[in-house]
Amino acid sequence: MAGKQPAFTENFTQNLTNIKTFLGPERKGLFQRLLDRLFDQVVPTLCRFPQAGRRFLSHRVRSKESKAILAKLRDRLEASDDLREFIMEDYLLLYLVRGDTIVFLSIKHHRQLSFDLGRFWQEA
């Protein structure tokens, strides 16, 4: 695989398990299609073209709470980090481009709850 190397967080793996549960046994084929597309197409494409996704921090934020959370998030990122999101069908994928690695942080079905960014950067 040319380009950047993929890395998967424990949270990403847990998200896949949660999606499988969310879809239920009657939609087993949908889950398998997600896995096939994710690992055969999306991961290799993002490793080769990491800027294919939208910059996560470019979202316009209006509330004080959201601005405070984003300020904390920016403080935890390294200067060269690039936090991005990629939409694939019914799923939103959150990933971090850091050096020569793409860290896959989270994947959610669009009907699931939002990302829990606090879990990635716990207070020391």
Structural domains of the chain, ranges and CATH numbers in brackets: 5-109 (3.30.2310.20)
Q: Taking 60 as the threshold, does the pLDDT of residue 115 lie above it?
A: no
pLDDT confidence of residue 44: 96
Identify whether the C-beta of residue 84 lies closer than 8 Å to the C-beta of residue 56. Answer: yes
Closest CA to 8 of 112, 78, 94: 94
- Give the pLDDT band (50/70/90) at residue 124: very low
Q: What are the tens digits of pLDDT across the range 54-108? A: 999 888 888 898 888 888 888 888 889 999 999 998 999 999 999 999 999 999 9
Q: What are phi and psi of 122, to 5 degrees?
A: -70, 145
Instruction: Give the mean pLDDT of the chain.
Output: 88
- Give the pLDDT band (50/70/90) at residue 25: confident
Ordered strands of the 101-109 beta sheet: 5-8, 101-109, 91-98, 82-88, 54-55
Task: Label residues 22-39 b or e (16+ Cβ within 10 Å = b).
Answer: ebeeeeeebbeebeeebe
Q: What is the pTM of this model?
A: 0.81
